[in-house]
Structure 1
Amino acid sequence: MASPLTRWYDALAAGDLASAAENLTEDTVLHVPGRSTNTGTYTGRDAVLGFVGHAAEVTGGTLQLTVHRVLDDGEWGVALATYRATRPDRDRPLENNLAHVARLRDGRIAESWLHSRDQYEVDEFWGEPAEEVAR
């Protein structure tokens, strides 16, 4: 049986968010490092899918992932990938390597951490987060 990480990336590549969602637990958590507009912790299936949808929208659908290897022992998985994207408001395209580390539960992705080769390049591409307003 294929790893939930393999099924996740295959569904994303096919543009099938419904199938991608089936590989996430309902209470899944995604940790995105850095200091950009997409940085943060996304809790729940809808939040993680929102993260993916926002990335596709901002890049005009140019975000592409090439998965090189998936390692999975049933409890933990790691996907090694390269991702590329362009944005109409950026001069330079993004190309970076990614290690997607996932804790698995019941054949689904329960918690994930994304680790990019060059976090500075990633932050520059996605842009500075908006200033928080004091309340």
Structure 2
Amino acid sequence: MTNIDIAKSYIKAVQTGDQATLGDLLSPQIIWHQPGDNRFSGVKTGIAEFGAMMGGMMEVAGGTFAITRANRYAANGDMVAIEIEFAGQREGAKMDQAGIDLLRIANGKIVEVWLFSSDPEQEDAFWGK
């Protein structure tokens, strides 16, 4: 399986809520770089911190937060960049924008993730402090 195949499996698992596949793809020691200046921003280390962050995001967004499209995948060694679109809505706020997910893959596992938002102010406003 190539690193692009792993990235495609990751996106599909996120889009379908396939927790078992996510568990297989993510390293237990995942390092996750969440952008912005909001309640979820910062570096999350380990699957427990990542899971708590994602659970909180889904709660705030009422389950509407989703990667709506993955447009392109590009690889460079152990890194894969994915051009995505993501959206969510909650009472009083809506988010819909493009972004980049950058994955570092080692030994068939996603070991580090950096996320980039095209409209950080919109994302911060959506998630809140």
Could you state the TM-score of these two structures normalised by the residue count of structure 1?
0.85
Aligned residue number for residue 19 of structure 1: 21
- Partner Cα separation in structure 2 for residue 49 and residue 20 of structure 1: 11
User: What residue in structure 1 maps to residue 105 of structure 2?
Assistant: 104
Q: Which runs of 5+ in 1 are unaligned?
A: 129-135
Q: By how many angstroms is 1:83 displaced?
A: 0.4
Give how far 1:74 is off. Answer: 4.8
What is aligned with 2:90? 87
Is the helix fraction higher in 1 or 2? Answer: 2
User: Which amino acid counterpart does residue 105 of structure 1 have in structure 2?
Assistant: A
* Alignment match, 1:6: 8
Distance 1:74 1:49, change over 3 A: farther
Alignment map for 1:57-72 (pairs within 5 Å): 57-65=59-67, 66-72=69-75
Instruction: Supply the distance in 2 between the matched residues of 1:21 and 1:72 (Cα, whole angstroms).
Output: 22
Matched residue SS, 1:35: coil
Are the equivalent residues in 2 in contact too, given 1:9–1:20 (CA < 8 A)? no
Partners of 2:77 and 2:10 in 1: how far apart? 15
- Matched-pair contact (CA < 8 Å) for 1:100–1:115: yes
Alignment partner of 2:80 out of 54, 74, 77: 77
Q: How many residues align?
A: 126
1:3/1:72 contact within 8 Å kept: no
CA contact (8 A) 1:74 1:107 kept: no
Identity %: 26
Name the Cα RMSD after superposition. 1.5
Structure 2 gaps, min length 5: none
Higher strand fraction: Structure 1 or Structure 2?
2
Matched position secondary structure for 1:62: coil
Q: Normalising by the residue count of structure 2, what TM-score does the alignment of the two structures yield?
A: 0.89
The Cα of 1:121 is off from its aligned counterpart by 0.9
CA distance, structure 2, for counterparts of residue 53 and residue 74 of structure 1: 31
